[in-house]
Structure 1
Amino acid sequence: MTVDIRVIRAGQLYRYFLRETVAGDGRRPAGAPLRTAQEQAGVPAGRWMGRGLTALGLAPGQEVTDQHLRNLFGERGRHPYADRLEADRLAAGESPEKAYRAGTLGRRVTATGVDFVFRPAPTIYLLWALADEMTGRVIEAAHEYAIGRVLEWIEDEAAVIRYGTDGIYRVRPPGGLVAARFRHYEARSGMPLLHDHVLLSVKAQRPDGTWGSIHTTILHENTVAASALYNELVAAEVCEELGLATEPRTVTEGRRPVMEIAGVPHELIRWTARRSEQIATCLAELEHEYVTTVDDDGEPKYLPVVSERARTKLNRIAALKTRPPKKDKNRSLAQLRADWKQSAILTSGVPATVINSLLQSSRAAAPKIRDRIPTVVDTDRAARNVTATVRMMNDGGRFHRRHLLAETRRHLALLLRGRRRDPHLDDHIVAAAVSHHCLDISEPKTARGREPGYRLYTARLNLPRPGSVRRQ
């Protein structure tokens, strides 16, 4: 999954984000202003995004400042300009209590934001790192476009504000959401890794203009669908703009393939995967410890196979155990690109001529793939394949709409191989799947259970087993 999510809480996690993450994942010098720290780290300034900016007096693309971050995320959900609002009220003769409340966005909260991390597939950021500067700009633009589209989808389809007793009432934030975006260029290992941290504020306006908090659990539930949308969009933009195509690559035997840019040697992926290999080795050891226990006599006793949920938690532990230390100094993007290319030529095993002509090689591989892409997608056939796959992938064959949506986006990415599609095609396929190939088995006992997104489905009988995607 190439979109990760983590809740940011006022206090330690916020201070960590402010001290290290906003400054290019490098340690921010004590007392250094935010912009100075970012310039020293060689990363661009953070920028605001989201449709909810207008209500806060901010503009899309406006630079994120220390004051903005402190108020909105560090002070448990205050207005980015709370200091100014409070001073104006005090100057007008209001009491300190009323002046303070003027800068507060509804009830104060502990969980103040959600950090989404967006990163494209390895072959995409390898092209960004090793090809020419123009190619890099095209890929960054595609990356930024895909992030914007995913945020719009979260605003329109995923985010909800709870209110009323026990959060019984739920409403989409009609004015949209507010997020601060920070771009980074490298991984902790020093390898190329184009990625953005999008710090989403939990604060949003209800229809009556009062401020509430979005439900972070629902954001977690929809992360896989968001990730599938981002992957599909960024690949399509890159392929259409540069004349490329994607192909499936099996990363782990027995698990679904990932879509990569055709023509980029996989040896280059292995060149960047030093940390991934360390994590995989540590994960294997942790899984062995997890499934092996010792009985009272000291004999090994084996537990059932590791579940997906347990594997996710163990993977996080492995990532923490193998983390290299933070770097004190970073390099400019131009210097990074020069160093990466030299390292790839010397250590990846890929000939220098191939590395120097990476874009041309990828373009040469595209025509045969693009010629086989269907001009029209058979919606019902796609719905059948998606439903059959979701039934197989979910324990007990029971699932929600978000599972169908995530699988539909994966299916379209595999089918279209980097071609753009109608932005509503995924919803049409899900609607066909629900109408013709699913049974509603919900027995809702709560308000949430009666919502469309929480209806529980199972597949109808006699669906074909999911197989490889063929031309339609």
Structure 2
Amino acid sequence: MITLGSIGSASSAAEYYSADNYYTADQTQDASAWFGKGAEAFGLSSKVEEQTFAAVLEGRLPDGSVIAGKDGLHRPGIDLTFSASKSVSLVAMLGGDKRLVEALKDSVTATLRWAEKNVIEARVWDASQGRQVPERTGNLIAATFLHDVNRNGEPQLHIHAVVANATKASDGKWHAVRNDELYRAQHVLSAVHNAELRSRVEALGYETVPARNSIDGAFEIKGVTREAVEAFSTRRAEILAELAKEDRGSARERELAALSTRRGKELEPDAARQVAAWKETARAIGFDPSRLIESTMARAAGEQTVWSRVVNGIRGIGERGMAIASAMGLTPRDSDPLVPERLGRLEPKAFAAAQAVASAAQELGEREAAFSRNDLIRTALERRGPITVDMIEDRIDLLQERGLLVGSGPADRDQMLTTEQALAMENKVISLAQAGKDSVQPIADKDGIVARLQEQARAIGLRRLNPGQEQAGVAILTSKDRVHLVQGGAGVGKSAALAPVAAIAREEGRQVVALSHVGRIAREFGEKTASPASTVDAFLARYGRVIDGSASADKVAAARAELSGALVMVDEASQIGTDRLARLITLANQMDVGKLVLAGDIKQLPAIEAGKPFAQLQQQYVRQSQITENLRAQTPQMQAINRALEQGDVAQAFAVLKPATIEVAPGKIAGIAADMWADLPKEQRDNTILLAAGRAMRSAGNAAAQASLIDRGQISARGIKLEVLDRVTVTREGARQLKGYQEGRVVAFETNLTRQGFARGERGTVIGVRDGKVELAMPNGEVRRFDPDRLPRNLKHDAVTIFERKNIALHQGDRIRWTAKDGERGLLNGDIAHVARIDGDTITVTAGDGKLHDLSRGDPMLERLDLAYASNVHVAQGMTAKNGIIMMSERERMLNTSASFLVAVTRIAENATLVTDNPDRVERQVDTRSGAKTSALETAREVTTGDRPNQQEVAAMSEDLKKLAEKLGPEFALAVLTNKERDITLEKSLYRSEPGRGSGDREMDKERQLERGRDLERGR
């Protein structure tokens, strides 16, 4: 683990770091050392002298240069603290294996070398731009100090790497370090360090296992019990207890908790007495590392490691690589686009690195079409195995050279990467939408259509359609294009505008279907448009075999009868990812749907999954309508905020909100907001929504609101305790990794895993991980083992769902929401219900439709509910409330985006109140984080707003696509069309060089393969 902290005083730091090594002083020659090219330039080496160190921290460099900060104040530097895992510390210090101390020092050196090359920056003057710009300098000055105990006097090997605030730029001058990148790179640095340390620990003969909370690849030494780790971790327990007081846990909050709970250090600690106390604790719990060390020494003498034993007796290179990948928890798949080499073409460790990169790209690609190079490095290193950062970077570079990973800009930490598959999928959506141009019969004639729309609006009870709504309705009903987009900000009445459209379509004999991404929104959309409603997922599942071509002729005919000529409308379409939208448009084209209307807002929250196809289609000449007049905002405050946000002026929106902003102490947001809400008269309270950016603040708001209502006698004081299941957010590729299966979590199987002996609907509780398998306690008392890496890859839904257990109390009168669907009883995921009464172990709830349901102990829906006093913005999108109280904390900086703020504020019609712990910082966070999704096409710079393909090019591409798809399949056909000069056969060796082959041979291979690609393009 790596933590970062600013150095306050140069002189105090020099004294502190130089004098805090008590127990390992006799085991290693150098407890301190200089590091970095900057240090080398000044001849600084070996032991760190306190006086020189203090001068450097003060900005006074050995060559006489002086670095002065603003107003003459100079920041001394940053402390990067590299901590070994507790098991490493125990074996090194109680067992006396000083090899581990050297392993830690070497891993820190390797990580600092990577940081020096990839992270350290300065600001330098750019005359062409007339401003200071960041520049990567490639040099730093750091002093490292080995320490061996924590504040509670427990074994804890760690190294402080104090990076001085000085680096030399291209102008030949020494500048202050731009610290932004160090903080941004904290997780990737931690992953690099864990990989470097783990590789050295394993080389010494130890086996390692993932840590309990294996962030950034954290690990422990196998054979050191959990009891031993916890017995010497009272310091960690103190920090966690401090965090638990206010349900916190970010990196910054851990740092603050550590500071608030730290004890003063002993001025002259008695090392002998402390070691004796350690040994007594170890004896009491039966921890003796001597045998563990002896066995590792024997393995090291025979040059054996965990990975050499994995391949022992396996002859083939390819089979060895497969064995290592399997031991890493990876399952290589045939024809993986990012591992195109034939089995046996890569040396085993290189094969492991290739599989780690492919798996990492797959996991990241499920949520984003493009991802940063550093995120890919970090995620690949989390796969563990005999891999280090150099191997991962070499693999990424190689894939970029071959065009299998496509990057924007230079290969640095800001570079965004995407895959050919993501590019193909985005092109597919565009091509499918363009294929529906001028291909359908209009739903209604143009003559008299405006009058019909307004007449239907009156009949439904709507106000007169405004010009934007009217024009959208006319365009949808009279155009010949299958796909039609409706873009409009929050509160402009998009779904209301579609109600008279649906009515006219029915008059014309068309079937009408209403869809949305969430069941609650879909149902409300269906009610508003008087149409049968469904979620997009349920709709796609119903016609899944039709889409993939495996349905019988009868099923296809039945689907065509249902959908041919139909009006299919999708609300909140901006929350539909690329893959789902591709399948939806494919179905519409196959079944000759009369009109597919996609209504949404590109400024609101995008899809959770990868892509932003709704925004992309707006750039591709797909027919669209704009609705701009805001109908929701009813007061001057809300109208002004909406105007500001429509113009992208976050500062103005916060300025308008300032009179209604309440600043509170950190950790008090939920309690104060809940009290404000509970103090309202019931009618006003029922029309006021409590809004949060994320799940943690929502949970805090729910608990605080419930407590406030109990205090005021608004709900019963007597309640019943329930254990509910809170879904853990994990990708499908992430579900294949062991890190998600933490002890106590519940694993529910969503598909039949016949070979592993699990059936759909079964579930078990994680009791441990052993030999790469998850041990599950089943309800019948049986313990069964589950292998995540054998989960199927080709499913369109999750193979397993992972849950955390959470305890809540329900009281009569509580407002709740369902977190799962019960179709038989009409209980939808996200629907609101109320606790009508509690009678013993039976809870009676009033559902959203007014029906009463008795839920007895053991009813599965009692596990799938939560309090519903507060909502996070993802749940709230699509809601409307008269008033709102918005809870925002500077601690949730990654959630404070312009998109989430816009959604929160625009739910509200009349009065908004902001409760926050730091209004200025929250405003800056919102202003600098858009929350927008990435795009593969934008990353590859193939399609931009200013460089769109013309309609003739798109039409030609669509024709070619149809021809090629018949020969090659749609995915490969798209790859050919969009990557015309790349090696598309994906079969040649990706070695940089091959024994016995010259550059001429390789060039001939390349030409032959390019020619083959051209043949495929020509349809030969």
TM-score of the alignment, normalized to the shorter chain, above 0.5: yes
For 2:31 and 2:179, the matched residues in 1 are separated by 26
- Please give the alpha-carbon distance, in whole angstroms, between the structure 2 residues aligned to 1:315 and 1:171: 29
Q: Report which stretch shifted further, 109-118 or 367-376.
A: 367-376
The 3-state SS of whatever aligns with 2:246 is: helix
Cα contact 1:48–1:64 (8 A) shared by 2? yes
2:104 counterpart letter in structure 1: H
Residues 423-445 of structure 1: CA distance to partner in whole angstroms, max 9, x if unpaired?
A: 631103434676767676x7xxx
Secondary structure of 2:413's aligned partner = helix
Q: Distance in 2 between matches of 1:243 and 1:56?
A: 39
Q: Secondary structure at the match of 1:111?
A: coil
When normalised by structure 1's length, the TM-score is 0.70
**1:72 shift after superposition:** 1.2
Q: d(CA) in 2 for partners of 1:403 and 1:128?
A: 32
SS of the equivalent of 2:79 reads strand
The Cα shift of 1:23 comes to 2.3
Matches within 5 A, 1:297-446: 311-332=250-271, 336-346=274-284, 349-351=285-287, 354-360=288-294, 371-372=309-310, 374=324, 375-376=348-349, 377-391=351-365, 399-411=371-383, 413=384, 416=385, 419=386, 421=387, 424-431=390-397
Who is 1:264 aligned against?
224
Aligned equivalent of 1:47: 33
Q: Is the 8 A contact 1:245 1:261 kept in 2?
A: yes
2-side partners of 1:161 and 1:114: how far apart? 14
CA positional deviation for 1:468: 2.7
Give the direction of change, closer, same or farther, for the CA distance of 1:256–1:79 in structure 2 (3 Å limit): closer
5+ unaligned residues in a row in structure 1: which ranges?
A: 27-37, 82-101, 291-309, 443-448
How many angstroms apart in 2 are the aligned matches of 1:257 and 1:170? 30
Distance 1:368 1:103 in 2: 50
| In 2, Cα distance between equivalents of 1:278 and 1:169 | 40
Give the aligned partner of residue 251 of structure 1: 213
Contact in 2 for aligned 1:106/1:211 (Cα 8 Å): no
Provide the rounded CA distance (Å) in 2 between the counterparts of 1:123 and 1:48: 27
* Aligned ranges 1:174-253 → 2 under 5 Å: 176-240=139-203, 242-251=204-213
Give RMSD over aligned pairs: 3.6
Letter in 1 for 2:86: P
Change (3 A) 1:109 1:410: farther
The one of 80, 83, 92 equivalent to 1:116 is 80
Cα distance between partner residues in 1 of 2:245 and 2:29: 36
Identity rate of aligned residues, in percent? 20
Question: 1:202–1:391: structure 2 CA closer, same or farther, 3 Å change rule?
Answer: farther
Taking the aligned partners of 1:286 and 1:433, their CA distance within structure 2 comes to 45
Aligned residues, how many?
Answer: 381
Aligned to 2:2: 3
Amino acid at match of 2:135: R
**Residue 17 in structure 1 maps to residue 13 in structure 2:** yes
**After the TM superposition, which residues 11-90 of structure 1 pair with which residues of structure 2 at under 5 Å, given as runs?**
12-24=8-20, 46-58=32-44, 60-61=45-46, 63-74=47-58, 77-80=59-62
* Structure with greater Cα Rg: 2
Contact 1:185 1:194 in 2 (8 A): yes
TM-fit CA distance, 1:371: 2.8
Distance 1:167 1:385, change over 3 A: same
| Letter matched to residue 376 of structure 2 | L
Quote the Cα distance in structure 2 between the aligned partners of 1:56 and 1:256: 34
Contact 1:23–1:43 (CA under 8 A) maintained in structure 2: no
Distance in 2 separating the partners of 1:79 and 1:227: 29
Structure 1 CA distance, aligned partners of 2:412 and 2:294? 47
8 Å contact 1:181–1:196 — kept in the other structure? yes
Question: Given that residues 205 and 306 in structure 2 are in contact (C-alpha distance below 8 angstroms), is that contact kept between their aligned partners in structure 1?
Answer: no
Q: Decide whether aligned partners of structure 1 residues 378 and 323 sit closer, same or farther in structure 2, where only a CA change above 3 A counts.
A: closer
SS at match of 2:100: helix
Asked if 1:127 corresponds to 2:69, the answer is no
Structure with more contact order per residue of length (Cα contacts < 8 Å, sep ≥ 6): 1
- In 2, the alpha carbon distance for the partners of 1:25 and 1:13 equals 20
Separation in 2, partners of 1:362, 1:369: 14
By how many angstroms is 1:78 displaced? 0.9
Closer, same or farther: CA 362–452 of 1 in aligned 2, 3 Å:
closer
Report deviation, 1:213: 2.6
**Distance change >3 Å, CA 177–CA 263, structure 1 → 2:** same
For residues 218-247 of structure 1, what are the alpha-carbon distances to aligned partners after superposition, in whole Å with 9 as ceiling and x for unaligned?
11111211111111111211221x312212
Question: What runs of 5+ residues in structure 2 fail to find an aligned partner?
Answer: 311-322, 325-347, 426-578, 580-609, 611-731, 739-788, 791-1020
| Structure 1 pair 196–268 and aligned structure 2 pair: CA distance change class (3 A) | same
Distance 1:397 1:275, change over 3 A: farther
Give the structure 2 partner of residue 281 of structure 1. 241
CA contact (8 A) 1:161 1:215 kept: yes
Aligned partner of residue 251 in structure 1, secondary structure: coil
Q: Which TM-score applies when normalising by structure 2?
A: 0.34
Compare the two structures and name the one with the higher helix fraction. Answer: 1
Q: SS of the residue aligned with 1:124?
A: helix
Task: Give a deviation string over 1:322-356, Cα, whole Å, max 9, x none.
Answer: 22232222244x6654442233213xx225xx344
1:317–1:159: structure 2 CA closer, same or farther, 3 Å change rule?
A: closer
Give 1:312 deviation, angstroms.
2.7
The CA distance in 2 between the partners of 1:368 and 1:78, in whole Å, is 48
Flag the 1:227–1:285 CA change in 2: closer, same or farther, 3 A.
same
The AA in structure 2 aligned to 1:468 is Q
> Which amino acid is the alignment partner of residue 169 of structure 2?
R
Q: Using a 3 Å threshold, how does the CA distance of structure 1 residues 350 and 50 change in structure 2: closer, same or farther?
A: same
- Asked whether the 8 Å contact 2:91–2:289 carries over to 1, the reply is no
Deviation at 1:190, TM superposition (A): 0.8
Distance 1:433 1:320 in 2: 44
Counterpart contact for 1:106–1:210, Cα < 8 Å: no
Q: Which residue of 1 aligns with 2:108?
A: 147
Residues 439 and 458 in structure 1, CA contact (< 8 A), matched pair in contact too: yes
Deviations 1:390-431 (A, max 9, x none): 346x7x6663211111112222x2xx2xx4x47631103434
CA contact (8 A) 2:361 2:376 kept: yes
In structure 1, C-alpha distance between the alignment counterparts of 2:237 and 2:114, rounded to whole Å: 34
Query: How far, CA to CA, are the matches of 1:314 and 1:106 in structure 2?
Result: 30
Q: What amino acid is the match of 1:246?
A: T
Q: Contact 2:48–2:143 at 8 Å: present in 1 too? A: yes
> Structure 1 pair 388/363, CA: closer, same or farther in 2 (3 Å)?
farther
The one-letter code matched in structure 2 to 1:128 is A
- Map Cα deviations across residues 74-114 of structure 1 (whole Å, 9 max, x no partner): 3xx11247xxxxxxxxxxxxxxxxxxxx4425877622311
Aligned to 1:98: none
> Is the contact between residue 383 and residue 433 of structure 1 (CA under 8 Å) also seen in structure 2?
no
How many Å separate the matches in 2 of 1:188 and 1:370? 39
Counterpart contact for 2:206–2:221, Cα < 8 Å? yes
